[in-house]
Amino acid sequence: MKYIRSDEEIQSIREACQVAATVLKRLVDTVEEGMTTYDLDQLGRKTIEELGAESACYGYRAGNHVFPAYTCLSVNEEIVHGIGTMRRTIQPGDVVSIDVVVRYRGYIGDNANTVLIEPVADANAALIEATRESLDYAIGFAKAGNRVGDISNAVERFIKRHNYGIVRDFVGHGVGTTMHEAPQIPNYGRRGSGALLKPGMCLAIEPMINMGTGKIEMLDDGWTAVTKDRKPSAHFEHTVLVTNGEPEILTIPQN
């Protein structure tokens, strides 16, 4: 699997990431009490299409399962890969994780955010803050000369201080022309282990952190992962470019 991207490929990934970031921002700004997750997903579909891209989630295959939605919308105890539905209405106090992956001109852009619906419980706010900060901290280790394990260990060390559960069943990954490319980037690990980071690598770093246990269960839909103890979960993600200097976050909206 190709890790290092050419300048032309990096520019294409940068453009795809801007599309993904624009879509995510619109959904984050729009989600509110009383919306169904189906309506939010359809807004994602419409925005992706308006920007000339396509959802990389819709139609994605894993074994015999085909993902039926355009974005991943995971509420409260749902960790990742939640499916928008008319049966799920956003409620006061909900924790809503939004994951947007697009394909634009053949390249992938990938990012996620977690939103708190008023009134916000202090415990939920603390979980979201710690998860977001763990991502920011880990991105600082995405430097040439470090290894994947340095990123993984940064998340683990940060989260352990808060006694939250780290999801081990899903990981970050390389970004290119398909949704999940090498190298895998767990949210736990040993410093100095894993693939060597070099300029031109594009990485999706995505802590998935649970208020309680890190253990998960899968719902019958074959996609939605939930916390085993049914406590809330948070998910933040950026696509990051390894450079000769500081890492560049590609999924910060530019307009």
Q: Considering its fold, how many domains does the chain have in total?
A: 1
pLDDT-based confidence at residue 158 (cuts at 50, 70, 90) = very high
Q: CB–CB of 240/203 below 8 Å?
A: yes
Does residue 1 form part of some domain? no
Residue 56 covered by a domain: yes
Quick one: which H or E segment has residue 157? helix 148-160
Residue 1 has pLDDT above 60, yes or no: no
User: Residue 184 sits in a domain of what CATH number?
Assistant: 3.90.230.10
Q: Measure CA 202 to chain center.
A: 14
- What are the pLDDT digits (tens) for 53-104? 999 999 999 999 999 999 999 999 999 999 999 999 999 999 999 999 999 9
255 domain residue, yes or no? no
Q: Is residue 61 part of a domain?
A: yes
Q: Is the pLDDT of residue 243 over 80?
A: yes
* Residue-level pLDDT at 3: 84
User: How far is 224 from 36, CA to CA, in rounded Å?
Assistant: 17
On whether residue 198 sits in a domain, the answer given is yes
Element (H, E) at 101: strand 95-104
- Is 65 annotated as contributing to ligand binding? no
Tokens of 124: 């939920």
Percent of the chain at pLDDT > 90 equals 98
Q: What is the 3-state secondary structure (H, E, C) of 42-79?
A: HHHHHHHHHCCCEECCCCCEECCEECCCCCEEEECCEE
Instruction: Flag whether 169 is marked binding.
Output: no
User: What is the Cα gyration radius of the chain?
Assistant: 17
Averaged pLDDT of the chain: 98
Q: Calculate the alpha carbon distances from 83 to 65, 119, 229 in Å.
A: 13, 24, 20
Whether 209 and 233 have beta carbons less than 8 Å apart is answered as yes
pLDDT, one tens digit per residue, over 4-21 is 999 999 999 999 999 999
Per-residue model confidence (pLDDT) at position 255:
72
The 8 Å CB, 24+ separation contacts for 91-94 are 91/33, 91/117, 92/33, 92/117, 92/118, 92/119, 93/117, 93/118, 93/119, 93/120, 93/121, 93/124, 94/33
Kindly give, in sequence order, each residue whose CB lies less than 8 Å from that of residue 183, ignoring residues fewer than 6 positions away. 3, 148, 173, 174, 194, 195, 203
What DSSP line would sit under 17-28, residue for residue?
Answer: HHHHHHHHHHHH
pLDDT digits (tens, 9 = 90+) for 190-212: 999 999 999 999 999 999 999 99
180 is in an annotated binding site: yes
Is position 95 within any domain? yes
pLDDT digits (tens, 9 = 90+) for 213-229: 999 999 999 999 999 99
pLDDT at residue number 235: 99
In-domain check, residue 37: yes
Which residue segment(s) compose the domain that 204 sits in?
7-249
According to the annotation, is 99 in a ligand binding site?
A: yes
> Residue 175: what pLDDT?
98
Q: What is the pLDDT of residue 2?
A: 66
7 assigned to a ligand binding site = no
